[in-house]
Structure 1
């Protein structure tokens, strides 16, 4: 089954502790290095009333510059549902159960949904979804190898990154161009380029990007700040 990527897809990746209403989750990025096959997260009810949460995990891929979440039996989350008393913590396990070896880096998304209170029959209930990235690294997984391409598209610009390495790239504070002519793709988290995948990021700002040649890029990854060059595609 394929899921549509939700508007809150990256809502839980901006800090070391994610919070939706009274439900808190930590950590918000799970990275399991070989030969490991399991990790844990902690759910906490910081509110004054009981709450229930549902947990589901999906394989996360990028196809043609688009995000995909697909059902999987390779990784399980236990338990899949939790009831939390006020101020209670609960440890949840994430386990890769398939016997197939990890090739490169496998990417998953853990969705943690705070469920509506069935006893509240009036008014509007605000509940949130946490979407946590989960990575399993194989032995000898190669580092990310990004190749950048910039194109004018409609009323803005599209920046494509083809990652020829095994490991993902987590991109934030991404911009192209220099000085007063720089065009921003977002000051915070922009997104990921998964291993052996291509991802596209768009902005409505055109900027004054000169035709031809290579365009400077700068931003941040998990390893720190970086500078690179993008090939500017000719307008079609």
Structure 2
């Protein structure tokens, strides 16, 4: 999953993020990782969050949670820089069946978009399930 193209008065600036894997499964584990790579020529400011989600439902129907955390929550990536973020289930009760979340990875508008009438934000929403 990747993509961002924004157009402004001075031409188009292509920025994107690559996220892998695109689905996270953590059977029997309390943690996993996700990798984010900045593509393009500029610096990318990336925000990472985890939200509660019910598997099989609309990926936009999410709720805040403290049961799973991700580190780092915000990072500035240079062009072609890669980050491996750690995702940890902090809930002490054992998982019953499947417990699902969404890892939200947002590339926030940067200073290169200051002069643009339209500012774009790219979001990757990666399903995460513990079992």
TM-score, scaled relative to structure 2? 0.82
Alignment of 1:106 with 2:99, yes or no, is yes
- What is the aligned partner in structure 1 of residue 51 from structure 2? 58
- What is the aligned partner in structure 2 of residue 116 from structure 1? 109
SS of 2:113 mapped into structure 1: coil
Structure 1, unpaired ranges of 5+: 1-17, 138-236
- What is the aligned partner in structure 1 of residue 3 from structure 2? 20
Count of residue pairs brought into register by the alignment: 118
Q: Distance in 1 between matches of 2:84 and 2:113?
A: 27
Q: Distance in 1 between matches of 2:70 and 2:24?
A: 13
Q: CA deviation at 1:66?
A: 6.0
Contact kept, 8 Å, 2:47 with 2:75, in 1: the verdict is: yes
Contact kept, 8 Å, 2:52 with 2:64, in 1: the verdict is: yes
Q: Distance in 2 between matches of 1:62 and 1:41?
A: 19
SS of 1:129 mapped into structure 2: strand
- What is the aligned partner in structure 2 of residue 135 from structure 1? 129
Q: CA deviation at 1:101?
A: 0.4
Mapping of residues 142-181 of structure 1, within 5 Å: none
- What is the aligned partner in structure 2 of residue 32 from structure 1? 26
Contact kept, 8 Å, 2:68 with 2:89, in 1: the verdict is: yes
